[in-house]
Amino acid sequence: MTMDQTIGSAFNKTAYRLSGHGPRNIGMLMSAFHDMDENTDSDMYGKGKLIEQFQAKMAEYLGKESAVFFPSGTMAQQIALRIWCDRQGLRKVAYHPLCHLEIHEEDGLKQLHGIEPILLADRSRLITLDDVKNISEDISCLLLELPQREIGGQLPDYAELEAISAYCHEQGIKLHLDGARLFEILPYYGKTAAEICSLFDSVYVSFYKGLGGVAGAILAGDTEFTEESKPWKRRHGGDLISLYPYILSSDFYFEQRIGKMEQYYQGAKQLAERFNRCPRTATVPEVPVSNMFHIHFAAPQAQVEQALIDLYEETGIGITSNLRAIDENACYTEINVGDKYAELSSEQVEAVFSLLNRKFN
């Protein structure tokens, strides 16, 4: 495989994609700003009509008293957990071993806030009520990620979620939702965002994942909580003079795509069913519970990469730009169904899976 034949470069040359909304380029921002009045006032250090209206809109959508816009979810979630630890006088929180705070944030929670995480469950499964009940030490807050991205976007049954929420409230444990992909799970649960968020004391949502915005996050809860988050936002360097490029693009793509979550979810189920019929290929979960899932290939990474490169060159359709090794004989990738899947004809999809079947037989 030569340098110009990597899976990433081959993927970037494809005209169509099974996954995502399209390339992340300047056009995303241009589209969001296309119909904007150039005289619209920007926000200034967290104040102003533009940011305050959007925060109020998202608070209402999430069923919370108040909301604060942050430039990143990393910042928002560390601050949320710091607030709950300070309130409880105990700097211990619990979350999944593959929580974003544990594996993607360079130990920010520990280094910046001195908070000790208690890891629940093992890496391959969801946190259960029994896991929470069996915590052997006191904690201030439990963080649940819905869906659990690193294990394929799995979700607990809603009854289990309600039971965990009730137990935490009985025990005085604050419950925080890592809802980076909250919008994407609404079709599976058949609930509104506000109904799900009512189970949690605080909630974070992202605007660049399923919605495909430029960047940005909302942290929501009661007014006392969100007011307490604002000085922490300043301390973290997140109170930029203006955040309007992120806010306007977040609002634009929220309005454009929030009504398509059912479409993305159904597309993910269709795609997973096709992948599960391919030799040496299986999805996790077998039936997706959101627009995302993992594809596992029972073959060495280099072999799968070459097969996909050949497929891209023959069909012009991309599946993924990267693979991760599980071991020397298996690898996997992640799929997030968005706008691009709907652009494919049934004949194009059939061509992809016909070629995959031949490659892995």
CB 172 within 8 A of CB 195: no
Inter-CA distances, 248 with 175, 184, 326, Å? 30, 21, 40
* The pLDDT of residue 300 is above 60: yes
Give percent of the chain above pLDDT 70. 99
pLDDT digits (tens, 9 = 90+) for 210-229: 999 999 999 999 999 999 99
| pLDDT bucket at 5, cuts 50 / 70 / 90 | confident
pLDDT digits (tens, 9 = 90+) for 310-351: 999 999 999 999 999 999 999 999 999 999 999 999 999 999
The pair of three-digit structure tokens given for residue 188, joined into one six-digit string: 């599976």
* The pLDDT of residue 2 is above 80: no
C-alpha 109: how far from chain center? 19
pLDDT digits (tens, 9 = 90+) for 188-207: 999 999 999 999 999 999 99
The mean pLDDT of the chain is 96
Mean pLDDT of 106-110: 97
| pLDDT bucket at 155, cuts 50 / 70 / 90 | very high
Residue of 66, 120, 112 lying closest to 93 (CA atoms):
120
* The pLDDT of residue 3 is above 80: no
| pLDDT bucket at 4, cuts 50 / 70 / 90 | low
Mean pLDDT of 256-269: 98
* The pLDDT of residue 254 is above 80: yes
* The pLDDT of residue 39 is above 70: yes
pTM score, whole prediction = 0.96
pLDDT recorded at residue 361: 83
* The pLDDT of residue 242 is above 50: yes
Mapping DSSP onto H, E and C, the string for the chain reads CCHHHCHHHHHHCCCEECCECCCCCHHHHHHHHCCCCCCCCCCECCECHHHHHHHHHHHHHHCCCEEEEECCHHHHHHHHHHHHHHHHCCCEEEECCCCHHHHCCCCHHHHHHCCEEEECCCCCCCCCHHHHHCCCCCCCEEEEECCEHHHCCECCCHHHHHHHHHHHHHHCCEEEEEECCHHHHHHHHCCCHHHHHCCCCEEEEECCCCCCCCCCEEEEECHHHHHHHHHHHHHCCCCCCCCHHHHHHHHHHHHHHHHHHHHHHHHHHHHHHHHCCCCCEEEECCCCCCCEEEEEECCCHHHHHHHHHHHHHHHCEECCCCCEEEECCEEEEEEEECHHHHHCCHHHHHHHHHHHHHHHC
